[in-house]
Structure 1
Amino acid sequence: MKQRIRLDASPYRKATRMPVQFRGIPRRRKVLVIACFCVCLILLLPRREFLGKTLWFFLLGSDVAGPYDASGPTGSGPPAADILKFIDPLIGTTNGGHVFPGASLPYGMAKAVADTHSPAENAAGYVSDDGNIIGFSHMHDSGTGGQPSMGNFPLFVHPGCPEDDFAKCEYAFRTVKRVPGSAIASAGYFSLNLTNSVRAEMTVTQHTALYRFSFPGTDTVKIVQDPPMADVPYSPVVVVDLIDLMNSRRAGGIQVYPETGRVVGEGQYSPSFGSGHYQAFFCADFKGAKLRKTGTFLTDTAKEEPKFLNSGDAGTYIPSGSAGAWLQFEKPEANAIYARVGLSFISVDKACENAEDEIPDFGFERVEAEARQAWTEKLSVIDIDAADVSEELQTTFWSGLYRTMLSPQNYTGENPLWNSTEPYFDSFYCIWDSFRAQHPLLTIVDPVAQTQMVRALIDIYRHEGKLPDCRMHFCKGFTQGGSNADIVIADAFVKKLTAGIDWDTAYQAVVSDAEVEPANWGLEGRGNLVSWHSLGFIPWNDVDNNGTGPSSRTISRGVEYAYDDFCISSLASALGHTDDAAKYSSRGGNWVNYWNPAQKDLYRETPDGSVVSTAFTGFMQPREANGSFRYQNTRTCSPIRNQHSCYYDTGLDTYEGSPWLYSFFVPQNMAALISLMGGAQRFVDRLTYFHESGIAYMGNEQAFLSVFQFHYAARPALSSYWAHRYIPAQFNASVNGIPGNDDCAMGAFSAFALMGFFPVAGQDVYLLTPPFFPQVRIKATATGKGKTKWAVIRVRNFDPENKRIYIKSATLNGRRYTRNWITHEFFLKGGLLELEVAETEGSWGTGEADLPPSYDPATWK
Structure 2
Amino acid sequence: MNSKKFILLFFLTSFCLQAQNYSQYVNPFIGTGGHGHTFPGAIVPFGMVQLSPDTRVDGSWDGCSGYHYSDSVIYGFSHTHLNGTGVSDYGDIMLMPTMGKPSLNNKDYSSKFSHKNEKATAGFYSVKLDKNNIDVRLTTTKRVGYHEYTFNNAGNANIILDLNHRDKLMEGEVKIIDDKTIEVFRRSEAWATNQYIYARIEFSKPMKISKKQVNGKDENNLFTGTKLALAFSTTVKKGEKINVKVAVSTTGYEGAGKNMLAEGKSIDFASIQKQAVADWDKELSKIEVKSSDKDKLTVFYTAMYHVFTQPNINMDVDGKYRGRDNKFYMANGFDYYSVFSLWDTFRGAHPLMSLIDRKRTADFVNTFIKQYEQGGKLPVWELASNETECMIGYHAVSVIADAMAKGITGFDYEKAFQASKNSAMLDIFGLNAYKQNNFISIDDEHESVSKTVEYAYDDWCIAQMAKILGKKEDYQYFMKRSQNWKNLYNPKNGFMQPRKNGNWYEPFEPREVNNNYTEGNSWHYSYSVQQDIPGLIAAHGGKEKFEQFIDAIFSAPDKTTGREQVDITGLIGQYAQGNEPSHHIAYLYNYVGKPEKTDAKIKFILDNYYKNAPDGLIGNEDCGQMSAWYILSSMGIYAVTPGLPEWQTTKPYFDEVKIHLEDGTTRTITKNTGREELKKLGFENAKSFKDFKYDELTATPVISAARIFDLNTKVEITALNPDDKIYFMTLDEGDANVRKMFTAYKGPFTITRTTQVAAYAERNGEKSSIVRANFNRRPNNWDITVNSTPTPQYTASGKLSLIDGINGDANWRKGEWLGYQGQTFEAIIDMKSPQQITQLSSTYLQDSRAWILIPKKVEYYVSNNGKDFILLKTVDNTLDPKDETAQVKEFSAEVLPTQARYVKVKAYHFGKLPEWHQGAGGDAYIFIDEISVK
Normalised TM-score (structure 2): 0.67
Question: Does the aligned pair in 1 maintain the 2:128–2:136 contact within 8 Å?
Answer: yes
Equivalent in the alignment of 1:462? 373
For 2:104 and 2:441, the matched residues in 1 are separated by 60
- Equivalent pair of 2:589/2:597 in contact (CA under 8 Å): yes
Who wins on radius of gyration, i.e. which is larger? 2
**SS at structure 2 position matched to 1:449:** helix
Matched, 1:236 2:157: yes
**Equivalent in the alignment of 1:512:** 422
> How far 1:131 moved relative to its partner?
3.3
What does 1:509-588 correspond to in 2, within 5 Å?
Answer: 509-517=419-427, 521=428, 527-542=429-444, 551-588=445-482
Give, in angstroms, the shift of residue 492 of structure 1: 0.6
1:343 aligns with 2:228: no
Deviation, structure 1 residue 118: 6.6
Which whole-Å CA distance do the structure 2 matches of 1:430 and 1:188 have between them? Answer: 23
Whichever structure has more helix as a proportion of its residues is 1
Q: Is the aligned partner of 1:133 residue 2:74?
A: yes
Of 97, 113, 118, which residue of structure 2 is paired with 1:178? 113
How many residues end up aligned between the 2 structures?
665
1:154-553 superposed matches below 5 A: 154-158=94-98, 160-161=99-100, 165-166=101-102, 173-195=108-130, 196-216=132-152, 218-219=153-154, 234-246=155-167, 248-257=168-177, 259-272=178-191, 274=192, 276-287=193-204, 289-291=205-207, 293-298=208-213, 308=221, 310-311=223-224, 318-320=225-227, 323-332=228-237, 335-386=240-291, 388=292, 390-412=293-315, 413-416=319-322, 417-422=327-332, 423=334, 425-499=336-410, 501-517=411-427, 521=428, 527-542=429-444, 551-553=445-447
Does structure 1 residue 765 correspond to structure 2 residue 646? yes
CA deviation digits over 1:438-490, x for unaligned, max 9? 11111112211111011110111112221011100111112422111111110
- Separation in structure 2 between the aligned mates of residue 709 and residue 118 of structure 1, nearest angstrom: 42
Name 1:750's counterpart in structure 2.
630
CA contact (8 A) 1:290 1:330 kept: no
Provide the residue aligned with 1:42 in structure 2: none
SS at match of 1:825: coil
SS of the residue 1:191 aligns to? strand
Q: Which amino acid aligns with 2:550?
A: L
2:552 is aligned, of 680, 683, 689, to 689
Contact 2:405 2:686 in 1 (8 A): no
For residues 734 and 256 of structure 1, do their structure 2 counterparts lie closer, same or farther at Cα, with a shift above 3 Å needed? same
Give the match for residue 315 of structure 1: none
- With over 3 angstroms needed to count, the CA separation of the structure-2 counterparts of 1:132 and 1:562, relative to structure 1, is same
Q: Structure 1's 474 and 724: CA in aligned 2 closer, same or farther, altered over 3 A? A: same
Q: 1:707, CA displacement in angstroms?
A: 2.1
Equivalent position to 1:620, from 496, 507, 528: 496
Change (3 A) 1:176 1:856: farther
The whole-number CA distance in structure 2 between the counterparts of 1:458 and 1:71 is 33
The aligned amino acid for 1:109 is M
Alpha-carbon spacing, 1:92–1:679, altered in 2? closer, same or farther (3 Å): same
Alpha-carbon contact 1:271-1:472 (below 8 Å) kept: no
Residue 576 of structure 1 deviates from its aligned partner by: 0.7
1:68 and 2:4 are equivalent in the alignment:
no
CA distance in 1 between counterparts of 2:201 and 2:164 reads 15
Q: 1:818 to 1:366 in 2, by over 3 A?
A: closer
Alpha carbons 2:289, 2:656 under 8 Å: kept:
yes
Kindly tell me: are residues 658 and 67 of structure 1, through their superposed partners in 2, closer, same or farther at Cα, counting changes over 3 Å?
A: closer
CA contact (8 A) 2:606 2:630 kept: yes
- Aligned residue among 65, 84, 87 for 1:146: 87
State the shift of 1:179 in Å: 2.4
What residue identity is the alignment partner of 2:209?
Answer: T
Structure 2, unaligned runs of 5 or more: 559-573, 698-934
Return closer, same or farther for 1:681/1:568 CA change in 2, 3 Å cut-off.
same
State the alpha-carbon separation in 2 of the partners of residues 791 and 818 from structure 1.
14
Matching of residue 722 in structure 1 with residue 604 in structure 2: no
1:177 positional shift: 0.3
Shift of 1:62: 7.2
Inter-partner Cα distance in structure 1 for 2:356 and 2:651: 19
Q: Residue type matched to 2:119 in 1? A: I
Q: Using the alignment, how far apart are the partners of 1:530 and 1:113 within structure 2?
A: 43
Change (3 A) 1:857 1:214: farther
CA distance in 1, matches of 2:57, 2:330: 39
CA distance in 1, matches of 2:65, 2:8: 46
Equivalent residue letter for 1:152: D
Distance of aligned partners of 1:512 and 1:256 in 2 relative to their CA distance in 1, 3 Å threshold: same
- Write the distance in 1 (CA, Å) between the matches of 2:187 and 2:416: 32
Alpha carbons 1:346, 1:414 under 8 Å: kept: yes
- CA 1:750/1:628 → structure 2, altered by over 3 Å: closer, same or farther? closer
In structure 2, relative to structure 1, the CA distance for the partners of 1:118 and 1:249 (3 Å cut) is: closer
One-letter amino acid of the structure 2 residue matched with residue 751 of structure 1: I
More strand, by proportion: 2
Q: Which region of structure 1 is more displaced relative to structure 2, 352-361 or 364-373?
A: 352-361
- What does the per-residue CA deviation read over 1:205-249, in whole Å, with 9 as the maximum and x for residues that have no partner? 111100001122x44xxxxxxxxxxxxxx2211111112422x11
After superposition, give the CA deviation of every residue in 1:130-158 in whole Å (9 maximum; x if it has no partner).
331000111112111122x2111211111
Q: CA deviation at 1:271?
A: 4.1
Question: Contact (CA 8 Å) 2:320, 2:329: kept in 1 or not?
Answer: no
1:228 corresponds to = none
Separation in structure 1 between the aligned mates of residue 9 and residue 135 of structure 2, nearest angstrom: 56
CA change 1:821–1:705 in 2 (3 A) is same
CA contact (8 A) 2:44 2:276 kept: yes
Higher relative contact order (CA 8 A, sep 6+): 1
